């Protein structure tokens, strides 16, 4: 009996199992049927949904789908609309994501620019923040602003306010971040004399932060006024974060915060800046009034604006033999106003003492400065966050500095620090320096960064140099040409530390140049030849081609103590002094 009952129980259990399996399968089919949803995508005229495409798509519940909408030429993406479009994180973003939890019918909406076709003859017209946002999709196009933009203009809340992009505010146009394709703005943007007010950016961990993050070679920003802006980034923070192109006839008011390469008009600059300024007395850079490229003292800035962005150099300085004459510190300060003009030449007519001018320097020189054999003493700048700092912070590609000595220098900055020039794309010659400079990176005794077009010749530095990386007794970072120069100052750093040059970009050349290994405490350099002090005082080092490191003779002659011979570039009291420039007054 037990056997029969057991057999029946096993049979019923098997049958029950079959029913349970069948029920489970049926349930799975039903569950699957009810968890697959339809996503219908379409677009208005002016563009296309490229990802995943347009039409009807089926997805399982919980699937995250990326949506990408691409506008046609001359058009801009506006927003996603339709059933449950609100579940898209940012309906105004052309690239967005959606999590499938039901059936959705979504449309990508596009609209044309107000006018124009993006050419130089007929630029796209920008009338609101939406239009401005679309500039990033046409980085080589031509644009013109046709009205003021402020907090009441369409698109402000979504794109440029404190609430935009999750509290990060405006997304800079043009980027050059590591591991991201280099996509600078390379077109032309004409502000047309209008203002963009109340712009907000809060991206503390980001570099290249501004209305434009990066303006590339060939890019032009002109006639732009950014007013009452608040910008925060890590580095390269300004109206234009990094400028490799042209910024002209533009201005800025507001607050800027960052760690390095920050400023009112441009943050990092390797391009051209002309007739573009900010009010030194009103703009706060890291909470204080600071000189960077474009700084004008308040009265000058207001006069410049009121005079249709023009100030006349002939009303401030008098001219002699084609050079505007610098007689005193007040005259020298005029280089804040006129240093950006590459057509102007200045000549120093007397020694200057900056002891009563702390944190004053000329942030940008595009023209020519002839020291005429004079010296400028007691340059003192202590701005830990400032970059491209020296007597001249940045020397433009056509700029020239010659025949000047800077003595008793004391500079503490961030990156691109040099006693004479912070970053040079021009020509430095027949000049010298003494004192102390310190920074984090690209710190040089005479010049911080010498770019591909930069040349340093017949010059020397006796500056003590301290930095972390790319630290050099004469030049920190050489991408250009260095010749017939030397350095004797102590050099201290952790990475790429050279007695003469700390780092070579690959194309930089150094010839017939030396450094004192005893005085510098450094036996190594990426260019030049190290000599002990005794050799540095020996005229044969500079006149005997059997000397290691000398290919071409220096223009040098031995003189008696207290004498000079100005028919030569260099003089030396053989065995007693280092070479000195023949225009120097030697006791």
Domain shared by 404 and 301, yes or no: no
Domain shared by 511 and 551, yes or no: no
Beta-bridged to residue 404, according to DSSP, are 374
**Do 79 and 109 touch, CB atoms closer than 8 A?**
yes
Q: Is the peptide bond before 314 cis (omega within 30 degrees of 0)?
A: no
Chain mean pLDDT for the chain: 91
Domain shared by 560 and 494, yes or no: no
**429 falls in which pLDDT band (50, 70, 90)?**
very high
pTM (2 d.p.): 0.83
Q: How many domains does the chain have?
A: 4
Predicted confidence (pLDDT) per residue in 434-493, tens digit: 999 999 999 999 999 999 999 999 999 999 999 999 999 999 999 999 999 999 999 999
Domain shared by 510 and 428, yes or no: yes
Q: Would you say residue 77 has pLDDT above 90? A: no
Domain shared by 430 and 553, yes or no: no
Q: Looking at residue 88, what is its pLDDT?
A: 85
Q: Can you tell me the mean pLDDT for 415-430?
A: 97
H or E stretch covering 335: helix 335-338
Q: Where are the alpha helices (DSSP H) in 184-226?
A: none
Predicted confidence (pLDDT) per residue in 519-576, tens digit: 999 999 999 999 999 999 999 999 999 989 999 999 999 999 999 999 999 999 999 9
- Please check whether residue 5 lies inside any domain of the structure: no
**180 falls in which pLDDT band (50, 70, 90)?**
low
Rounded-to-10 torsion of CA 209, 172, 290, 354: 80
Parent domain of 328: 317-531
Domain shared by 160 and 273, yes or no: yes
Q: Would you say residue 16 has pLDDT above 60? A: no
Rounded to an integer, what distance in angstroms lies between the CA atom of residue 326 and that of residue 348?
5
- Please check whether residue 82 lies inside any domain of the structure: yes
Rounded to an integer, what distance in angstroms lies between the CA atom of residue 269 and that of residue 271?
6
> How many Cα atoms are found within 13 Å in the side-chain-facing hemisphere of 239?
32
Instruction: Show which of 306, 339, 364 is a domain's final residue.
Output: 306
**176 falls in which pLDDT band (50, 70, 90)?**
confident
> How many Cα atoms are found within 13 Å in the side-chain-facing hemisphere of 295?
26
Tokens 């109340």 found at: 198
CATH code for the domain of 357: 2.160.20.110
* Backbone dihedral angles phi then psi of residue 326, each to the nearest 5 degrees: -110, 110
Predicted confidence (pLDDT) per residue in 193-209, tens digit: 999 999 999 999 999 99
Among candidates 194, 196, 200, which has minimal Cα distance to 157? 200
Burial category of 8 from C-beta neighbours within 10 Å (exposed 0-12, middle 13-18, buried 19 and up): exposed
CATH code for the domain of 71: 2.60.40
């Amino acid at each position: 009996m037990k056997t029969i009952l057991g057999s029946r129980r096993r049979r019923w259990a098997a049958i029950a199992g079959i029913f349970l399996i069948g029920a489970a399968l049926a349930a799975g089919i039903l569950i699957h049927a009810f968890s697959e949803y339809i996503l219908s995508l379409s677009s208005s005229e002016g563009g296309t949904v490229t990802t995943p495409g347009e039409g009807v798509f089926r997805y399982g519940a919980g699937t995250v789908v990326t949506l990408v909408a691409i506008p046609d030429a001359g058009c801009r993406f506006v927003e996603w609309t339709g059933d449950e479009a609100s579940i898209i994180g940012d309906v105004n973003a052309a690239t967005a994501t959606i999590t499938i939890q039901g059936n959705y019918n979504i449309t990508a909406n596009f609209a044309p620019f107000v006018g124009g076709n993006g050419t130089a003859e007929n630029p796209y017209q920008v009338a609101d923040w939406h239009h401005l946002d679309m500039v990033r999709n046409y980085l080589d196009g031509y644009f013109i602003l046709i009205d003021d933009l402020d907090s009441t203009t369409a698109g402000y809340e979504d794109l440029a306010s404190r609430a935009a992009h999750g509290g990060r505010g405006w997304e800079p146009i043009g980027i050059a971040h590591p591991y991201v394709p280099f996509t600078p703005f390379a077109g032309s943007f004409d502000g047309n004399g209008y203002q963009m007010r109340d712009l907000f950016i809060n991206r503390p961990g980001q570099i290249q932060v501004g209305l434009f993050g990066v303006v590339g070679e060939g890019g032009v920003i002109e006639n732009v006024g950014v007013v009452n802006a608040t910008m925060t980034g890590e580095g390269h923070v300004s109206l234009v974060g990094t400028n490799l192109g042209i910024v002209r006839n533009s201005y800025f008011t507001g607050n800027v915060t960052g760690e390095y390469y920050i400023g009112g008009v441009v943050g990092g600059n390797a391009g051209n800046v002309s007739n573009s300024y900010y009010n030194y007395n009103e703009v706060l850079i890291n909470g204080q009034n600071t000189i960077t490229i474009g700084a004008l003292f308040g009265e000058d800035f207001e006069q410049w604006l009121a005079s249709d962005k023009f100030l006349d150099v002939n009303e401030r300085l008098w001219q002699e033999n084609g050079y505007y004459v610098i007689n005193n510190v007040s005259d020298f300060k005029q280089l804040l106003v006129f240093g950006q003009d590459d057509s102007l030449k200045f000549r120093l007519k007397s020694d200057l003492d900056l002891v009563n001018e702390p944190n004053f320097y000329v942030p940008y020189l595009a023209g020519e400065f002839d020291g005429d054999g004079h010296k400028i003493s007691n340059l003192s700048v202590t701005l830990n966050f400032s970059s491209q700092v020296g007597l001249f912070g940045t020397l433009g590609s056509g700029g020239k500095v010659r025949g000047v000595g800077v003595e008793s220098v004391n500079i503490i900055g961030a990156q691109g620090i040099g006693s004479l020039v912070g970053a040079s794309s021009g020509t430095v010659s027949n000049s010298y320096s003494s004192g102390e400079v310190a920074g984090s990176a690209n710190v040089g005794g005479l010049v911080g960064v010498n770019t591909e077009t930069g040349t340093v010749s017949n010059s020397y530095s006796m500056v003590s140099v301290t930095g972390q990386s790319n630290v050099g007794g004469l030049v920190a970072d050489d991408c250009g040409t260095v010749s017939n120069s030397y350095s004797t100052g102590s050099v201290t750093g952790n990475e790429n530390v050279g007695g003469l040059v700390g780092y070579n970009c690959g194309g930089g050349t150094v010839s017939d140049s030396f450094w004192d290994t005893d005085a510098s405490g450094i036996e190594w350099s990426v260019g030049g030849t190290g000599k002990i002090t005794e050799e540095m005082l020996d005229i044969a080092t500079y006149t005997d081609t059997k000397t290691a490191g000398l290919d071409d003779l220096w223009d040098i002659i031995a003189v008696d103590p207290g004498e000079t011979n100005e028919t030569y570039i260099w003089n030396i009291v053989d065995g007693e002094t280092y070479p000195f420039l023949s225009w120097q007054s030697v006791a």
